[in-house]
Amino acid sequence: MSALQRWSVPGEDLPLLVAVAATTVGVATAFAAAVLWAQQPTSGPLPQSQVVVAVVPDAPIAHDAALVVDAPGAVAAPDAAVAPAVATATASTCAPLIVNFRSGSGSAPKNAEAGLAGLATWLAEHPDVQVVVTGHADSSGSEYVNLQLSRRRAASIAAVLEHHGVGKARLAVRGLGTFWPVDNAPPDASWNRRVVVQTKDGPCPRQVEEVIEP
């Protein structure tokens, strides 16, 4: 081997056309390898467009359960299943017992005795239920007199409930005078001479409003 052959690079003595073809093939191969490498999945989070949202309609939670799939086969479940809240009946939802009064009267009508006794029996079976007793009056007379009259009416109904075993601590008694008339009723209507007995904080004793005439 001559000194020139010892230091020569293999292929450098190839014809020019062959050398160019070999170089082109090498560049194309390297480019294809780079593209394939770039398409390989990484361990980082998926792009936003690849995040999958799954809605589970039967999950026992109070709102729609959106479960995010971070990777194929991996589902991130909610932290805890929250049971739907059950609506508890309140004073605004229970149908009331209404006791009507004669004009100027502040004493509980005798006709109300049986209905109030039945309510007291029901309350004894539901010790957590509270009672709101609200007295009203029509517009006859002065506002002050009507306010006092509405309070006496409410107190008389509460006294009947206490007589039948309802604890005083469970009764909220108030009088509103003429300031809260029956819907669509004129202020002087007899319907406004009433006491409304309504339960709250538990189940309801009746499904429809009950009215007791004097």
| Residue at 209: amino acid letter | E
CATH code for position 137: 3.30.1330.60
Other CB atoms within a 10 A radius of the CB of residue 203 amount to 13
Total domains present in the chain: 2
Nearest to 205 by CA among 122, 131, 136, 148: 122
Q: Say if residue 139 is in the same domain as residue 181.
A: yes
Q: Say if residue 55 is in the same domain as residue 145.
A: no
Question: Quick one: pLDDT at residue 183?
Answer: 87
**Average pLDDT of 36-56?**
46
| 26 inside domain | no
**Residues 81-103: tens digit of each pLDDT:** 333 333 334 445 799 999 999 99
Residue bearing the bigger pLDDT, 25 or 189: 189
Question: Quick one: pLDDT at residue 93?
Answer: 76
Question: Quick one: pLDDT at residue 92?
Answer: 53
Question: Quick one: pLDDT at residue 91?
Answer: 42
Model-level pTM greater than 0.85?
no
Q: In the predicted model, is pLDDT for residue 5 greater than 60?
A: no
Range of the domain at 61: 45-84
